[in-house]
Every structure is written in C-alpha cells, then in structure tokens.
C-alpha cells in the first residue's frame, strides 16, 4: 500500500500548515502537495498513511468535511499518486481490508 494519501473536498482556504496540523500525530510527513480543492500527503511509513485514512476520512478541516483515501495509480511525475475522487464514505463494516479491489 502506498504511503501517499489523497485529500479531497479541501477548502480553498486550507493552507499547507493547516493540512500538516490535521495529519499531525499520524507519523512523519515527507510532503504536502496542495492543488485547488484537493491535495496529497506523503508519509514516511505506509502504516501511518493507513491510520490517517481510517481516522480522518469524513472529518472536518477548515469548515469542510474532507475525503481522505489512499491514492490510486501512477503519478504524472513517475511516482505514485492520482487522486481519489468523489463518493461519500459510508459507515459500517467490520475491520479488515474491506471488500474493495482496485485495478490499475
């Protein structure tokens, strides 16, 4: 699993320091890359990214309920990234990896 996460529905007011503060406590952040309304956060350890996705998806940042999910597919610059997309998260479900499969 990637150590890079997508953050969507991001407020246009959100700054890098806001995102860093939001993800603080989940592990060492290597990079924050913000675009208009979305961005990417890269962690040093993929397990930290897992924890952040699990805990922060659907939480509020700068007045907006954000989407936090693992990135999908290759990045344009040759690494891994590519955003998540939309879809409201549902609740429920037990532990485990879920029944979702991803194809590249």
Span 66-96, pLDDT tens digits:
999 999 866 666 554 455 554 444 444 444 4
2 in Cβ contact with 46 (< 8 Å): yes
CATH number of this structure's domain 4-70:
3.30.70.330
Task: For the chain, list the strands marked E by DSSP.
Answer: 4-8, 29-34, 38-43, 60-61, 64-65, 67-70
- Coil, helix or strand at residue 91: coil
- Coil, helix or strand at residue 55: helix
Tokens of 94: 């037990």
Give 82's contacts (C-beta < 8 A, 6+ positions apart): 6, 71, 72, 73, 74, 75
- Confidence (pTM): 0.71
pLDDT at 103 over 60: no
> How many whole angstroms separate alpha carbon 31 and alpha carbon 16?
10
96 in Cβ contact with 79 (< 8 Å): no
pLDDT of amino acid 91: 42
């Amino acid at each position: 699993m990637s150590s890079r996460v997508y953050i969507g529905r991001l407020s246009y007011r959100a700054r890098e320091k806001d995102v860093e503060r939001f993800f603080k406590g989940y592990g060492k952040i290597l990079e924050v890359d913000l675009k208009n309304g979305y961005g990417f956060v890269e962690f040093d350890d993929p397990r930290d990214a897992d924890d952040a996705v699990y805990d922060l998806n659907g939480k509020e940042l700068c007045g907006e309920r954000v989407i936090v999910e693992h990135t999908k597919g290759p990045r344009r610059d040759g690494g891994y990234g590519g955003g998540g997309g939309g879809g409201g998260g549902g609740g429920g479900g037990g532990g485990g990896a879920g029944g979702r499969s991803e194809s590249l």
